[in-house]
Every structure is written in C-alpha cells, then in structure tokens.
Structure 1
Amino acid sequence: MLRKLQLIVLSLMLSTSIFAQTNENDKKNWISADLFASKIEQQQKAQIIDARSAEEFALNHVNGAVNVNLQDATYSQFVEKLNPNQPVFVYSIANGRSVALAKDLGTKGFKEVYVLDGGIGAWVGSGKPVFTTAKKGLTLAEYNKILASNKVVLVDIGSKYCGSCKKVKPILESLKKEHGEALKIVEIELEDSPQLIASLKTVTSFPYIILYKQGNISLKKSGIVELKGVLDTALAQAL
C-alpha cells in the first residue's frame, strides 16, 4: 500500500512539473468534454487512454478506456499496438499526466492526439457516462436538503487523488475557524459521489468550488489560484 501511494505521489509530482512547462502550442489539441465525446463517437473503435494510476482507473474511468501511463513497464509495448493513423484520446484527472503522454505519442509519430481539457472532472461534470465502483454517495435530494437547511453553503468538489484538491483543504479549515456554524461546508469526492457531480452539470475541472446563499449560486470557481481571496470577498457579501 505504501509503495502504491509513493508511486501515485511521484506521478502527480511529475505531471505538475510537466504541466508547468506546457506552452500554448501544446494546448492546440486540448478539447472540451463535449467535443471529446463527439470525436470518440465518430470512431469505429476509439483509442482511449486513461493516463492515471491503476488504482484510480479501477475506481472510475471513461467507458472504453484502457489504462496506461508513462511510468508503466509495459508502456512501450502498449504504444506499439496502437494505430498511429487513427486518433488517440487521452485524459487524466486534470491535464498534467495526459499532456505528458500526448507529447510522447507526438514524438512517436502520432499526428492526431486529443487531450480531454479538465480531465475526468470535466467529463463527469458534464454528465458524460462513466464506469464507477461507487455504491452510494451523497444523493441530489440530500444535497438539495443541505442547501435548503443552511443559509450559506460552500461546496468543495474534487478527488482524493487530485494534488490541487489537497491544497484546498487548509483553506477550508481556515474558513471553518473564521466563520463557525454560519458557514456550512460540504466536501464531495469523485470516488464517492460521481452521480451527484454529474447531476450538477457545472463542474469543469477539479478542484471546483460552489458557494450558495439561500439556495442560489453566488460563486463558482475552478482551480486554486487566488481561491482564498476570492472566497473571503464572496463570503463577506454572503454572511
């Protein structure tokens, strides 16, 4: 188990490093969940690659995807079995690992490689079908009950495997201390509640924050850039 966690951390660190080096040219083949799905439907047998870890893939993945990443010992053999004359569709939890894999395929002669912008968070968030082992997470009815029972609700949506999502947690703890019972905080993870994330049809990537006041959305934000400042401003108006 420790070895698995070490590999996941190493993979996330590598993807973060590569993502930081991404330039505008790399982004030309990043496409939305809707276009990703549309292009897949046009293929007789789509080549879909889930570039996450085996542990993540086992919990949830795009239907029809095959799991492989740059750290796999069998990666080279896997690539040899792909058809370089057909499109390849790659995704991960965000864009880091998928971008790295797409770059590598490009160096190997694959001309048409598409990266799912926003990763599996965008896919599930837009309501696209997904394989999942989740049995019973927070339901939409339960979610709406929480919104109806609290004046101000802050919802944090992400995944336990998402590096950026982990950086949201200290911010939430800080807000709990600052606002106490005046602020209801709800944390939702892909591994537990994919159906709810899909039902909301608003998540574009992980992490994703929604702030409600009296049941109405007052703020939606993806990512962690300037998150604390944005939330402080929004909460000053909501509370």
Structure 2
Amino acid sequence: MKNLNVLTLVLIALLTFSFTAYSQEKAAHLLNNTSFQKEIEKTEVQLIDVRTPKEYAEGTIEYAKNIDFLNENFLEQTKTLSKDKPVYIFCKSGKRSEKARNTLLENGFKQVYELDGGYTKWIEVKK
C-alpha cells in the first residue's frame, strides 16, 4: 500500500511537470499584438496568413503572404519559406495557426511564432 502511494505521488509530480513544461513552451511561441508587431517590423520577415483566400481578401496584416492551412497543398506551398529563419503566422482566432505551427515544426521548421488571438484580436487593438 505504501508503494502504491509513493507511485501515485511520483505519477502526479511527473504529470504536473509535463503540463507545466508544455504550458511554458506554448506561451513562449505565442506573441501578443505588441510583440508580434515588433517582430514583423524586422527586415525580410516570413509573415504568413494561414486563413482562406476569401478571409485574406477581406483584410490582412501588411506584407503577409497567404498560405491557406486548410488547402491540401499547404506543405507544398511552404517550400518557398526558409526553415532556418523565424516564421510568424496568424489566422482568425488562433486555432488554425496552432495546428499550422505544429505542422511546420513537424516538417523541419525551427522557429514558428503565432499571433495570440489571431487577426480578430489584431484588428480590435488597432481600432
């Protein structure tokens, strides 16, 4: 019984550590409007709008390239990007950009940063 209690405590500690590490990693790649703006003002930044072409046509962040995450050719279209340079991505609210980020990282991209809250939050703050 005593071994079971110790094992339970160790398991809880490991799960807590894993969740904390995941939360910190997630927070590190999410940039608020101010931080995102500061980063994309740098020269030759890779800024990608992962929304649909229709959403992109309705408004986007200046100089953003549209690569629709929902398009079956998403990865093919990202071949024009450098995997060694940071990529800054956004979608409408942050759900697609999170999936796109994971896809890019799984395919060799080193640094991918997301706009926290997406384009919706971006335009709210800019008003």
TM range (shorter): 0.7 to 0.9
Contact 2:67 2:78 in 1 (8 A): no
Partner of 1:145: none
Is 1:61 aligned with 2:60? yes
Q: Structure 2: how far apart are the matches of 1:37 and 1:60?
A: 16
Query: Is the Cα–Cα contact under 8 Å of residues 87 and 112 in structure 1 kept in the other structure?
Result: yes
Q: Percent identity, aligned pairs only?
A: 26
The gaps in structure 1 that reach 5 residues or longer are 1-22, 128-197, 199-239
Q: Greater strand share, 1 or 2?
A: 1
1:124 offset after TM fit, Å?
1.3
| C-alpha separation in 1, matches of 2:37 and 2:72 | 29
Equivalent residue letter for 2:125: S
Contact 1:51 1:67 in 2 (8 A): yes
Aligned-pair CA distance for 1:91: 0.5
1:98 maps to: 97
1:34 — aligned with what?
34
Which structure has more relative contact order (CA 8 Å, sep 6+)? It is 2
Deviation at 1:41, TM superposition (A): 1.1
Tell me the residue number matched to 2:18: none
Give runs of aligned pairs for residues 178-217 of structure 1, distance below 5 A. Answer: 198=127
Cα shift at 1:61: 0.5
Q: What root-mean-square deviation, in Å, do the aligned CA atoms of Structure 1 and Structure 2 show? A: 1.4
More helix by share: 2
2:52–2:70 contact (8 Å) kept in structure 1: no
Q: State the Cα distance separating 1:99 from its structure 2 match.
A: 0.5
TM-score by structure 1 length?
A: 0.42
Q: 1:70 to 1:121 in 2, by over 3 A?
A: closer
Structure 1 moving runs of 4+ over 3 Å? none
In structure 2, stretches of 5+ residues that fail to align are 1-21
